[in-house]
């Protein structure tokens, strides 16, 4: 998001001072205004929002670690980015532990209620999937929120501060407010019609019947009170207490204006579903690429498996900045193949047999890479391969093909490092801009619509099985890909982005730009993007089309303008690079979606 003003000064600690001295000195220097790149030492952060970055920096300066700072930033994003990040949603967190030089992940993905079956989104009157808009704006789309459980599990494993302490910066922003910018206004405006039909959502986000005007101050005292109560009562207030009962009641009986004509279907969530929820600590995905170790999220996310498979495929080609068109052609074709395999094989591993080891094997990648013609794009959609462990030659792909299923493009991503060298890459989301549209009455936050990330209709008889159908307690497939790259056991890069299924291609393209095309991380992140997700068209940003469109068209690629809101913009990435021991460069978007915010504890001179 673009610049917002925090009404109370952020605490800033000079090296060697103690927390008590900082608290006694409210006039201490503030963090600088929003900038997309910051280089220095002692800890670093990049988010889409200045207030969130300041919250993380405050924690780092007070001696907190990367996990602590990531939670503080995410909680603040729940205030300033309420349409994409909230405690009514979930996410995935990848963590590098400097002490053990190991990578760990925390799966806070939402789960389906126990009463949800594979036909949950099928209209019994027609036998077809519900219209997508109707599925989204409903209690039926609301998954059991995982964010608070994920914070709790990550903090208990690797944090050094209490959740209550880490919520304080966000409470301050919610109480004192932030300045409405173009992005916040526009996100409210595109939701205005449906928000107007949901009574507590209208009250919170359309107080005068219209989106808040640019330049005004937006406050959320209800969310401040919710955070304060969460700090006092802890996660059990949500997963077994009154807040959980209110969430379940909102999903089961959406608070729709009686005068509204919109059909808002009730959901299936119960308090028992909330009580049963668990955030998961999981092994990351891992591949090697050009001598580096690349770690990501394992299923239920498809981010780590699909990025990893595509990198394995690309490793079979010599890519050079001297021929960027050839490199981009290989990137698009590798993405196409990896997405075919993602659609066929990846789902919640608790309920689906995901052949993850084989999807990430070098043998399977070599078998897939031999299908890439350097002189010609393959017609899409291409068929999935057969990750069976028996690889040799150029195997014939499976006969059946599948179209790309829809996945909402809105989430947010942040990266943090601390003075000890710990690193966090973190995606947090409620799915669509505005999630389900349902605000928990009196609590100041929206509920997610993550369950529309499931396939909404079972496949036709005789078609290949779909690993992403709804099921009791199941986690819908995601594309979130918080990624950490190590060089001989030490962190080199951390990167991620929002963007639905374009997350995978954006992360992959940033890695290609940085590791193969010789770009510095700020250039790699700012470079124009294209996405190929096994669709007939390659969708791209205008600058990418201007620079590479004709050359790629000559190779058979149908390059079109990326259509999703905002039109022509893919993702809003953040990243870190360790330039040398102790020196970190934090990078956010310079212009996409108003630009992001990068900060470091001690700027390099």
Give the pLDDT confidence of 580-605 residue by residue, as tens digits.
Answer: 988 999 999 999 988 999 999 999 98
**Preceding omega of 579 cis (within 30 degrees of 0):** no
Burial of 387 from C-beta contacts in 10 A (0-12 / 13-18 / 19+) = buried
On whether the CB atoms of residues 58 and 102 are closer than 8 A, the answer is no
Give the pLDDT confidence of 187-212 residue by residue, as tens digits.
Answer: 999 999 999 999 999 999 999 999 99
In this prediction, residue 33 carries a pLDDT of 79
Residue 595 lies in a domain: yes
Residue 343 lies in a domain: no
| Catalytic residue (choose from 147, 411, 412, 502) | 411
Worst-scoring range by mean pLDDT, 171-185, 302-316, 401-415? 401-415
In this prediction, residue 392 carries a pLDDT of 82
Tokens of 114: 């126990």
Give the separation between CA 484 and CA 43, rounded to whole angstroms. 16
Tokens of 246: 């209110």
In this prediction, residue 566 carries a pLDDT of 83
On whether the CB atoms of residues 442 and 222 are closer than 8 A, the answer is yes
Give the separation between CA 144 and CA 451, rounded to whole angstroms. 9
Instruction: Mark whether 411 is an active-site residue.
Output: yes
Q: Which of 359, 354, 313 is nearest to 335 (CA)?
A: 313
Residue 29 lies in a domain: no
Give the pLDDT confidence of 27-67 residue by residue, as tens digits.
Answer: 233 445 799 999 999 999 999 999 999 999 999 999 999 99
In this prediction, residue 13 carries a pLDDT of 25
On whether the CB atoms of residues 528 and 540 are closer than 8 A, the answer is yes
Q: Which of 87, 500, 47, 69 is nearest to 279 (CA)?
A: 87
Residue 256 lies in a domain: yes
Give the pLDDT confidence of 410-461 residue by residue, as tens digits.
Answer: 789 999 999 999 999 999 999 988 999 999 999 999 999 999 999 999 998 8
- Cα–Cα separations (whole angstroms), residue 46 to 36, 38, 559, 602: 8, 9, 31, 14
The yes-or-no verdict on residue 488 having pLDDT over 90 is yes
Of residues 432 and 469, more confidence is placed in 469
Give the pLDDT confidence of 511-550 residue by residue, as tens digits.
Answer: 999 999 999 999 999 999 999 999 999 999 999 999 999 9
Mean pLDDT of 248-277: 97
Cα angle value 530/475/110 (rounded, 5°)? 90
Residue-wise DSSP of 378-419: PPSSPPP---SS---S-PPPPS---PPPP---EEEEEEEEET
Give the separation between CA 481 and CA 495, rounded to whole angstroms. 8
Give the separation between CA 528 and CA 546, rounded to whole angstroms. 10
- Cα–Cα separations (whole angstroms), residue 152 to 127, 157, 163, 335, 579: 41, 9, 7, 35, 32
Looking at residue 244, which CATH number applies to its domain?
A: 3.60.20.40
Mean pLDDT of 252-271: 97
The yes-or-no verdict on residue 6 having pLDDT over 60 is no
Pairing of strands 178-179, 37-47: unpaired
Pairing of strands 483-487, 537-540: unpaired
Letter string b/e over residues 465-485, b meaning 16 or more CB atoms within 10 A of that residue's CB: ebbbbbbbbbbbbbbbbbbbb
Give the separation between CA 529 and CA 551, rounded to whole angstroms. 15
- Cα–Cα separations (whole angstroms), residue 496 to 36, 159, 520, 576: 15, 21, 16, 10
The yes-or-no verdict on residue 396 having pLDDT over 80 is no
Give the separation between CA 179 and CA 147, rounded to whole angstroms. 26
Q: pLDDT tier at 394 (50, 70, 90 boundaries)?
A: confident
Mean pLDDT of 119-143: 95
Mean pLDDT of 487-512: 97
User: Quick one: which H or E segment has residue 273?
Assistant: helix 271-276
The yes-or-no verdict on residue 71 having pLDDT over 60 is yes
On whether the CB atoms of residues 62 and 11 are closer than 8 A, the answer is yes
- Return binding residues for L-glutamate: 109, 453, 478-479, 500
Residue 365 lies in a domain: no
% of residues, the chain, pLDDT over 70: 92
- Return binding residues: 109, 453, 478-479, 500
On whether the CB atoms of residues 81 and 49 are closer than 8 A, the answer is yes
The yes-or-no verdict on residue 14 having pLDDT over 60 is no
In this prediction, residue 565 carries a pLDDT of 78
Cβ contacts of residue 169 below 8 Å, gap of 6+? 10, 54, 55, 58, 59, 72, 75, 76
Residue 144 lies in a domain: yes
Pairing of strands 530-531, 537-540: antiparallel
Dmax over Cα atoms in the chain, in whole Å? 70
Q: Tell me the Ramachandran region of residue 177: left when phi exceeds 0, alpha when psi lies from -120 to 50, beta otherwise.
A: left
Helix, strand and coil in the chain, % to nearest 5: 35, 20, 45
Place of tokens 């000890």: 420
Residue 381 lies in a domain: no
Residue 3 lies in a domain: no
In this prediction, residue 250 carries a pLDDT of 98
Counted domains in the chain: 1
% of residues, the chain, pLDDT over 90: 88
Three-state secondary structure string covering 294-324: EEECCCCECHHHHHHHHHHHHCCCCCCCCCH
In this prediction, residue 300 carries a pLDDT of 96
Whole domain around residue 209: which residue ranges? 37-282+405-603
Give the pLDDT confidence of 340-364 residue by residue, as tens digits.
Answer: 999 999 999 999 999 999 999 999 9
Give the global pTM.
0.93
In this prediction, residue 405 carries a pLDDT of 63
Mean pLDDT of the chain: 92
Give the separation between CA 100 and CA 32, rounded to whole angstroms. 33
Tokens of 23: 């608290």
């Amino acid at each position: 998001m673009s610049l917002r003003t925090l009404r109370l000064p952020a605490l800033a600690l000079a090296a060697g001072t103690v927390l008590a001295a900082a608290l006694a000195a409210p006039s201490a220097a503030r963090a600088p205004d929003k900038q997309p790149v910051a280089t220095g030492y002692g800890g670093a952060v990049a988010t889409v929002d200045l207030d969130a970055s300041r919250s993380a920096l405050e924690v780092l300066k007070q001696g907190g670690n990367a996990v602590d700072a990531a939670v503080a930033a995410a909680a603040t994003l729940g205030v300033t980015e309420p349409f994409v990040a909230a405690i009514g949603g979930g996410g995935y967190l990848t963590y590098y532990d400097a002490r053990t030089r190991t990578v760990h992940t925390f799966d806070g993905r939402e789960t389906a209620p126990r009463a949800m079956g594979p036909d949950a989104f099928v209209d019994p009157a027609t036998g077809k999937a519900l219209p997508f808009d109707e599925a989204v704006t409903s209690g039926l789309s609301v998954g059991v929120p995982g964010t608070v459980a994920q914070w709790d599990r990550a903090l208990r494993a690797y944090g050094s501060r209490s959740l209550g302490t880490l919520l304080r910066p966000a409470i301050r922003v919610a109480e004192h407010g932030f300045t409405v910018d173009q992005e916040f206004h526009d996100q409210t405006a595109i939701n205005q019609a449906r928000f107007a039909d949901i009574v507590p959502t209208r009250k919170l986000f359309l107080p005068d019947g219209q989106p808040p005007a640019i330049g005004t101050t937006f406050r959320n005292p209800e969310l401040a009170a919710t955070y304060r109560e969460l700090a006092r009562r802890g996660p059990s207030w949500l997963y077994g207490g009154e807040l959980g009962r209110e969430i379940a009641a909102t999903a089961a009986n959406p608070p729709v204006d009686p005068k509204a004509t919109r059909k808002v279907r009730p959901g299936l969530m119960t308090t028992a579903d909330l009580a049963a929820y668990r955030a998961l600590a999981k092994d990351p995905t891992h591949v090697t690429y050009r001598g580096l170790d690349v770690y990501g999220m394992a299923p239920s996310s498809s981010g780590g498996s699909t990025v990893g498979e595509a990198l394995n495929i690309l490793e079979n080609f010599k890519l050079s900045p001297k021929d960027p068109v050839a490199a981009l052609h290989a990137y698009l074709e590798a993405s196409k193949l990896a997405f075919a395999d993602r659609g066929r094989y990846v789902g919640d591993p608790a309920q689906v047999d995901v052949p993850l080891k084989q999807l990430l094997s070098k043998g399977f990648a070599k078998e897939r890479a031999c299908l890439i013609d350097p002189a010609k794009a393959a017609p899409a959609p291409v068929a999935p391969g057969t990750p069976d462990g028996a690889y040799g030659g150029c195997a014939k792909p499976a006969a059946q093909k599948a179209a790309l299923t829809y996945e909402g493009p809105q989430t947010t991503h942040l990266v943090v490092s601390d003075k000890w060298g710990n690193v966090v890459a973190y995606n947090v989301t409620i799915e669509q801009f505005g999630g389900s549209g349902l605000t928990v009455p009196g609590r100041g936050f929206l509920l997610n619509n993550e369950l529309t990330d499931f396939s909404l209709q079972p496949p036709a008889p005789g078609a290949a099985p779909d690993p992403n159908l709804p099921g009791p307690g199941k986690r819908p497939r995601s594309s979130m890909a918080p990624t950490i790259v190590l060089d001989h056991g030490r962190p080199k890069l951390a990167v991620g982005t929002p963007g639905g299924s374009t997350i995978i291609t954006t992360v992959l393209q940033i890695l290609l730009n940085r590791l193969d095309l010789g770009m510095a991380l700020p250039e790699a992140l700012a470079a124009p993007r294209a996405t190929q997700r096994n669709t007939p068209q390659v969708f791209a940003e205008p600058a990418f089309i201007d620079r590479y469109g004709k050359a790629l068209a000559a190779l058979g690629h149908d390059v079109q303008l990326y259509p999703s809101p905002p039109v022509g913009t893919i993702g809003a990435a953040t990243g870190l690079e360790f330039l040398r021991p102790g020196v970190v460069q934090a990078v956010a978007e310079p212009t996409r979606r108003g630009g992001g915010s990068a900060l470091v504890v001690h700027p390099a001179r």
